[in-house]
């Protein structure tokens, strides 16, 4: 194998392929990146079985071939080279020679036959969506996945195509996050993607209008970004029927400014951190929301003007769950829908119908 | 106690005083900041005994007094308040009330009598130097202090006034860092300041031409920045006679570009990390320096054009020590002074005579 390409471009594709090299596997070969030089193209593949990333660049291929090289060492070496052309070629003793200006490095390589095959996927491009929008939808739901493995299916994010909409849903028993975007697709599809691999996917997606094409198979999801393909396995099992959890009705609707609410909850939570209860109490009446917290550390009281439609209500929350939601919402005006002090609170944007968040309240004696 | 002041100014002085609140002490009172409201001034003091920081701002003092409040909680609370006026006053039950717009918080405070007294220092302002220069001198030497406590004195940086120069020196047995600046002072003074407290001092010093006045006492050093005073205890014991370590003569002088040398050593060190030896070999002849490294990970070879005055030489180093020096030097052209493969290497700026670095070589069989 022998190829020549620009250092900066090589550095970029290494960095992309490395997203799948998590070091969690016990197989040494998976600490490596597979390099395939063929037909004027250099292809790099990183994989930890659950997640695989394949990415390619144009390169001057002087001799075709494929090898596996340690991801970390190869990545650091290329990064530290001067901005110039890099020549990479195999030499005797299973060694790889890297030449750039007056620098020369020699590394051991591994046999590409030992690298696991990627699942063969027949791309049907079921779904096309701008990268930026998908990135945002992932960011807006992934925080609500369960962190423990008690119900493994809840550590994932459900991708659902239903009635011409793509829905992403995550829930952990105490809160739920749902993001929706219209898509041109009439199928009904459902698949649950592990939160950990999805987090790497969102790092590869760019804040751009460029599309990503998505293909579903019974066991995998494929994201095709053009020069980069990401394949993740799916989680097995039945996801909770989340629609039955979201109430349709409410007794009180509150309109308020997201930033103001966020700042008040943040300050109140400072006094609520003792013993990890993180309890903040809301007392809503006469278009004013009073937020209080109280612990051995001290007390806080915050006052916020809101617009109320419905009956006064007292309700208490774990501040962290409210903060998590407010932090990733993007509209300035938001709506809370409440029914009673023991019923879920729904949070939505006021003007844009693209998200539904649900937070369970905390029952407080005499409140 | 009762005062009113701007949130942003209060946040700034809390952040300064917090530099001395390290949480390392077992005394609860030292997790607090002492607030003193007197004569239109609010003074804040943080201390961990070794290091104390006293800083003040103008404030509207409505009632004089002093209390101690938990540094972290008070700091976070003030930081999260809106940019507006803040009122702070004591209320019943040893509580402190903090009011800002519609926010109210109540914290417990501690009795100021329990806060340790700062050492009384009669300021004689022995030395005046721009903050920026001192900050740079600290940064340029502190990395060479010993990290273990085998010889406690070497965990400090020596401040020395000698022949109208301020010298800062640190050494750990394998390398030495010396920075010098001319000062208007004819005294001869020597004091060793703990590296840990000096690191906090350098965070408080600004990149500005504003002066810092320094006072030495037998046990303390005082840095006066105007509104902020920093007091550190000194290390006891005799510092090594560092001048005797720095050789006056050399057989080979090399002039080279710092950045190029740095990049080459960085790349070569990638292949030298195995077993922590970090060994890089230099072969200098015919105005070319060849840098090589070799381990089970692989091999590197770098070539660098240099200007030689003297005899060819082969010498080996721990790459990390060379990188540490090159990283904090600021001139582009530098000089290496070498005598033999087992003698110290001296590194200096080519044009500015403000620093001397010494790195011991590593003896390599047959090299």
**A306 in reach of chain B (CB within 8 A):** no
Interface test with A, best of B70, B74, B80, B105 (most A CBs within 10 A): B105
Q: Quick one: pLDDT at residue B24?
A: 78
Q: How far is B324 from chain A (nearest CA, A)?
A: 17
Specify the pLDDT at position A187.
Answer: 86
Contacts of A106 in chain B (CB under 8 A): 298-300
Chain B residues with CB under 8 Å of A270 CB are 73, 76-77, 80, 105
So what's the pLDDT on residue A23? 79
Cα torsion A300, A304, A308, A310 to 10°: value is 10
Q: Are A255 and A248 in contact (CB under 8 A)?
A: no
Tell whether domain B127-241 is in CATH 3.10.150.10: yes
Taking the mean position of all CA atoms in its chain, how far away is CA A208? 16
Q: Are A265 and A359 in contact (CB under 8 A)?
A: no
What local confidence, expressed as pLDDT, does residue B49 receive? Answer: 87
For an interface test with B, give the residue of A103, A264, A272 to mutate (most B CBs within 10 A).
Answer: A103
Touching check for B78 and chain A: CB below 8 Å?
A: no
**What CATH number has the domain spanning A2-114?**
3.10.150.10
Rounded Cα–Cα distance for residues A348 and A331 (Å): 9
Alpha-carbon span A58 to A38, nearest angstrom: 10
CATH no. of A252-359: 3.10.150.10
Both structure tokens of A54? 């394949």
Look at residue A191 in the predicted model and tell me its pLDDT: 96
What residues does A134 pair with on adjacent strands? none
CATH number of A127-244: 3.10.150.10
Helix, strand or coil, per DSSP, at residue B200:
helix
Q: Which residue in chain B has the smallest CA separation from A75?
A: B270
Give the Cα separation of A220 and A124 in Å (integer): 13
**Residues in chain B closer than 8 A to A105 (CB atoms):** 267, 270-271, 298-301
- Which one, of B280, B324, B363, lies nearest residue B176 by Cα? B324
Give the whole-angstrom CA distance, residue A127 versus residue B70: 54
Contact between chains at B73 and A303 (C-beta distance less than 8 A): no
State how far the Cα of A262 lies from the Cα of B150, in Å rounded to an integer: 50
pLDDT of residue B276: 65
- For residues A304 and A285, the answer to whether their CB atoms sit within 8 Å is no
Q: Which helix (H) or strand (E) holds A28?
A: none
Interchain contact B120–A (C-beta under 8 A)? no
pLDDT at A275: 66
Distance CA A274, CA B110 (A): 19
Residues in Cβ contact with A231 at an 8 Å cutoff, skipping those fewer than 6 apart: A51, A52, A53, A54, A118, A119, A121, A220, A221, A222, A223
CB contact under 8 A, A298 and B271: no
Task: Name which of A73, A296, A300 is nearest B105 (Cβ-Cβ).
Answer: A300
Print the SS3 string covering B54-112. Answer: EEEEECEEEECEEEEEEHHHHHHHHHHCCCCEEEEEEECCCEEEEEECCEEEEEECEEH
For residue B364, report the phi and psi dihedrals to the nearest 5 degrees: -120, 130
Sequence length of chain A is 367
The tokens for B26 are 């077992």
pLDDT, tens only, B229-279: 999 999 999 999 999 999 999 999 999 999 999 999 999 999 987 666 799
Q: Cα–Cα distance between B229 and B97 in angstroms, integer? A: 28
What residues does A103 pair with on adjacent strands? A100, B302
Taking 50 as the pLDDT cut, the residues of chain A under it are: none
3-state secondary structure of A124: coil
Nearest to A159 by CA among A175, A181, A174: A181
Nearest CA in chain B to A304: B102
Verify whether the Cβ–Cβ distance A82 to B263 is below 8 Å: yes
Neighbours of B130 (CB within 10 A): 17
* C-alpha closest to that of B145 among B136, B153, B137: B153
Residues of chain B with pLDDT under 50: none
Rounded Cα distance, A325 and B172, in Å: 51
In Å, how far are A235, B130, B140, B181 from B134, measured between CA atoms?
58, 7, 10, 9
CA–CA separation, B127 and A43 (whole Å)? 63
B291 vs chain A: nearest CA distance in angstroms?
10
The three state secondary structure string of B265-318 is HHHHHHCCCHHHCCEEEEEEECCEEEEEEEECCEEEEEEEECEEEECCEEEEEE
Token output for B299: 């091999």
Tell the residue number behind the tokens 């031409």, with chain if given: B209
The verdict on a CB contact (< 8 Å) between B266 and A107 is no
Burial of B241 (0-12, 13-18, 19+ CB in 10 A): exposed
Write out the two tokens for A164: 């011409």
b/e sequence A23-36, b meaning 16+ C-beta within 10 Å: eeeeeebbbbbbbb
CB B56 within 8 A of CB B46: no
Give residue limits of the domains in chain A: 2-114, 127-244, 252-359
């Amino acid at each position: 194998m022998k190829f020549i390409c620009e250092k900066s471009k090589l550095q970029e594709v290494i960095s992309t392929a490395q997203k799948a090299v998590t070091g969690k596997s016990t197989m040494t070969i998976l600490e490596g990146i597979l390099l395939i030089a063929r037909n004027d193209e250099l292809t790099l593949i990183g994989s930890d079985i659950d997640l695989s990333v394949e990415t390619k660049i144009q390169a001057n291929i002087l001799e075709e071939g494929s090898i596996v090289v340690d991801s970390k060492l190869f990545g650091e070496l290329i990064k530290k080279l001067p901005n110039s052309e890099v020549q990479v070629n195999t030499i005797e003793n299973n060694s790889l020679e890297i030449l750039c200006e007056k620098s020369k490095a020699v590394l051991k390589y591994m046999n590409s036959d030992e690298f696991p095959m990627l699942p063969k996927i027949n791309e049907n491009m079921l779904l096309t969506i701008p990268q930026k929008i998908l990135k945002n939808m992932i960011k807006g739901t992934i925080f609500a996945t369960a962190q423990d493995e008690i119900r493994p299916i809840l550590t994932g994010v459900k991708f659902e195509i239903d009635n011409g909409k793509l829905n992403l849903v995550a829930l952990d028993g105490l809160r739920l996050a749902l993001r929706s975007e219209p898509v041109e697709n009439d199928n009904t599809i459902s698949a649950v993607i592990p939160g950990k691999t999805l987090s790497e996917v969102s790092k590869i997606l760019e804040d751009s209008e460029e599309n990503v094409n998505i293909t579903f198979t019974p066991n995998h999801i494929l994201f095709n970004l053009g020069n980069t393909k990401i394949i993740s396995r799916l989680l097995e099992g039945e996801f909770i029927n989340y629609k039955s959890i979201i109430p349709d009705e409410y007794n009180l609707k509150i309109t308020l400014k997201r930033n103001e609410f966020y700042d008040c909850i943040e300050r109140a939570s400072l006094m609520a951190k003792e013993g990890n209860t993180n309890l903040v109490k809301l007392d809503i009446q006469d278009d004013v929301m009073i937020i209080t917290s109280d612990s051995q550390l001290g007390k806080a009281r915050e006052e916020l003007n809101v617009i109320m439609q419905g009956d006064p209500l007292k309700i208490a929350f774990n501040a962290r769950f409210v903060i998590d939601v407010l932090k990733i919402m993007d509209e300035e005006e938001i709506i809370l829908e409440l029914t009673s002090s023991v019923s879920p609170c729904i949070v939505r944007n006021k003007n844009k119908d693209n998200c539904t968040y649900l937070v369970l309240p905390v029952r407080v004696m005499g409140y």
